[in-house]
């Protein structure tokens, strides 16, 4: 059995939520950020303002770890990223999905990239300061 930390368990739960719908890295990153802002878990990812808003490079590390352990899988997109989804082995580890994660994932999988950025930037403007897409541009889109 794989020994996961609490952050990895939340990440795995996020991927199990909403009928195991696959998520892009930007959806995962922003969903975990919103979860951290709304649930305030004790030990969690530390987010910093980055190119597309809040970012924690530790999330990418944990995605690779979960992938290497066979708990998640990745599917290439037409762009330069993969979509991630939970495997049956990963599902066995997740006992119960937090209702807040379900709500957040539903919100994120129903929005476009631009809509996600608009939502995060308007709610947490301090995380937009290093973005390559600023609020003025978003308002025009």
Position 116 scores a pLDDT of 87
Range of the domain at 73: 6-140
Mean per-residue pLDDT for 80-104?
91
Position 80 scores a pLDDT of 83
C-beta of residue 114 within 8 angstroms of C-beta of residue 33: no
User: Per the confidence metrics, is the pTM higher than 0.85?
Assistant: yes
Inside any domain, residue 126? yes
- Per the structure, the count of domains in the chain is 1
Higher pLDDT, 133 or 130: 130
CATH number at residue 94: 1.10.10
Position 55 scores a pLDDT of 96
**SS3 of residue 111 by DSSP:** coil
Position 36 scores a pLDDT of 96
Inside any domain, residue 35? yes
Position 141 scores a pLDDT of 56
Give the N- to C-terminal CA distance of the chain in Å, as an integer: 47
Mean per-residue pLDDT for 1-13?
90
Position 137 scores a pLDDT of 60
Inside any domain, residue 1? no
Residue 83, phi then psi, degrees to nearest 5: -100, 140
Between CA 113 and CA 138 the distance in angstroms is: 11
Half-sphere exposure (Cβ direction) of 7: Cα atoms closer than 13 Å: 20
The pLDDT-based confidence of 58 (bands split at 50, 70, 90) is very high
The pLDDT-based confidence of 140 (bands split at 50, 70, 90) is low
User: Is the predicted pLDDT of residue 40 greater than 70, yes or no?
Assistant: yes
User: Is the predicted pLDDT of residue 136 greater than 80, yes or no?
Assistant: no
Mean per-residue pLDDT for 89-103?
90
Inside any domain, residue 66? yes
Computed over every residue of the chain, the mean pLDDT equals: 90
Inside any domain, residue 118? yes
């Amino acid at each position: 059995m794989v020994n996961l930390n609490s952050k990895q368990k939340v990440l795995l739960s996020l991927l199990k939520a909403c009928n195991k719908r696959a998520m892009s890295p930007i959806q995962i990153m922003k969903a975990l950020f919103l979860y951290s802002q709304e649930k305030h878990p004790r030990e969690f990812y530390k987010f910093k303002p980055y190119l597309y808003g809040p970012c924690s490079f530790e999330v990418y590390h944990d995605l690779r770890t979960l992938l290497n352990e066979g708990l998640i899988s990745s599917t290439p997109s037409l762009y330069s990223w993969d979509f991630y989804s939970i495997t049956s082995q990963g599902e066995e580890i997740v006992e119960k999905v937090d209702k807040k994660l379900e709500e957040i994932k539903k919100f994120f999988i129903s929005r476009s990239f631009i809509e996600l950025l608009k939502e995060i930037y308007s709610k947490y403007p301090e995380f937009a300061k290093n973005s390559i897409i600023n609020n003025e541009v978003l308002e025009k889109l």
